[in-house]
Amino acid sequence: MSGVSSWLQKMRKAELIELCDSVNFTDYDGMRKADIEAALDGYLTDHANEFSSESRFDPFYKTRRGNSSPVKKESASTATDLGERAKSFKRRVTKAAEELAVTDDSEAEPAATRTRSALTRTPARSSALANLPFASSVPLPPSPAVVANAIERKSVVLRSKLSEVYQGSGINETTEATRTTLSSLVAIHVLIHAFELLNLRKELLPNRYAFTIPEMPLFHMSEYPVSIPDLFLLLTSSFWGPANLWSLTSFVLPLGFAYFFNLTGKPISRSNHSKHFAYNFDPLTFNIVKALLTSVIYGQDVTFGGLVDLEHVARINSALYGGWKGPVVGTAIGALTTIYEAIIKK
């Protein structure tokens, strides 16, 4: 690589590729940096008539001219001058003085030659980078601290905007309202009975085919059959018989006992014998009565002298999740939450 221009050798590979693209030299794929230098050196030398007039290639072509015939001529002229000086010194001084003069001249002359050659071959890096188009188009930050501060400012702005959107959406208020509503005995008992009704509906009002949504290729949807509860069963005893039995054993009778056997009442003062009830219906009494009725009627098939139809009992048992044991588990959950609330309020 001694014949490659030092101007090209001082460039990075990315700068060499940029320079290749600017002179339409595209045969550098897969080459190493040294190979690109050699190939580009030969390409610029062969196209000297095309690119030598451009100022950005002055460092290259000055080097080429410096490495050609003028150097050889300079070396020849230097050798001639040394010979003539040696002959003149031989005539006027002694042999020792002649050898000393020749030595001094031979050391000084190559040093001057090396200096001129180095000045000719070595371009200023700033001028080389200035001639490349991408060097002036890449913005560089003044310091990493400035970049970190800019990122921090952007993060603060983004967090503030997200916070404003969250506060304006009302999610926080809705969440708090939902939490307040569900954090009560009434909400827990409503959810337990809603779960029982959901399973009971599938037995008492089964779904029937209603219509079909046609295929819609525009939305990539195929035909979809729609089924709805068979509301005509509301006119039959097959619905009202099991529905009334479940309502009496799971809701009406437990509420009646919870109203009259209300253990939450306590006197307001010693002088006033009136009672203050925290609940109109005692939740603990409600769950105890419901558990007893469920286990006796649905678990032991007690008809109370024929008042309960065992066919209705069988349908309700098949519909409820876990049979008669499912409602008993629900009453246990209700009783535990009632006791827990009483302990907290004490």
If you average pLDDT over residues 196-211, what whole number do you get? 91
Domain count for the chain, please give it: 3
Tell me what pLDDT residue 330 has: 94
If you average pLDDT over residues 170-176, what whole number do you get? 86
> Does residue 84 fall inside a structural domain?
yes
> Does residue 270 fall inside a structural domain?
yes
If you average pLDDT over residues 72-98, what whole number do you get? 47
Distances 233 to 37, 182, 230, 242, 313 between C-alpha atoms, Å: 92, 34, 6, 12, 18
Distance CA 185, CA 338 (A): 7
Among 132-136, 204-208, 220-224, the range scoring the smallest mean pLDDT is: 132-136
Tell me what pLDDT residue 47 has: 84
Higher pLDDT, 330 or 61: 330
If you average pLDDT over residues 50-65, what whole number do you get? 80
User: Which of 106, 131, 156 is where one domain is finished?
Assistant: 131
Among 42-51, 56-65, 73-82, 309-318, the range scoring the smallest mean pLDDT is: 73-82
Count Cβ atoms within 10 A of the Cβ of residue 5 and give its class: 0-12 exposed, 13-18 middle, 19 or more buried: buried
| Residues in a beta bridge with 208 | 228
Residue 248 in this model has a pLDDT that exceeds 90: yes
Residue of 118, 113, 123, 119 lying closest to 9 (CA atoms): 123
Q: Within this chain, do residues 38 and 121 fall inside the same structural domain, yes or no?
A: yes
Kindly indicate the confidence band of residue 195, based on its pLDDT and cuts at 50, 70 and 90: very high
First vs last C-alpha separation in the chain:
95
> Does residue 1 fall inside a structural domain?
no
| Angle between helix 58-67 and helix 33-46 axes, rounded to 10 deg | 80
Tell me what pLDDT residue 66 has: 55
Kindly indicate the confidence band of residue 173, based on its pLDDT and cuts at 50, 70 and 90: confident
Q: Within this chain, do residues 15 and 121 fall inside the same structural domain, yes or no?
A: yes
If you average pLDDT over residues 287-306, what whole number do you get? 93
Tell me what pLDDT residue 277 has: 52
Q: Within this chain, do residues 61 and 152 fall inside the same structural domain, yes or no?
A: no
If you average pLDDT over residues 250-258, what whole number do you get? 94
Among 130-144, 198-212, 250-264, the range scoring the smallest mean pLDDT is: 130-144
Distance CA 214, CA 288 (A): 52
Whether 213 and 224 have beta carbons less than 8 Å apart is answered as yes
> Does residue 136 fall inside a structural domain?
no
Tell me what pLDDT residue 119 has: 41
Longest CA pairwise span in the chain (Å): 158
Task: Report DSSP state, residue 214.
Answer: P
The boundaries of the domain holding residue 168 are: 141-183
User: Which of 123, 158, 183 is where one domain is finished?
Assistant: 183
User: Which of 103, 131, 159 is where one domain is finished?
Assistant: 131
If you average pLDDT over residues 233-260, what whole number do you get? 93
How high does pLDDT run on average in the chain?
78
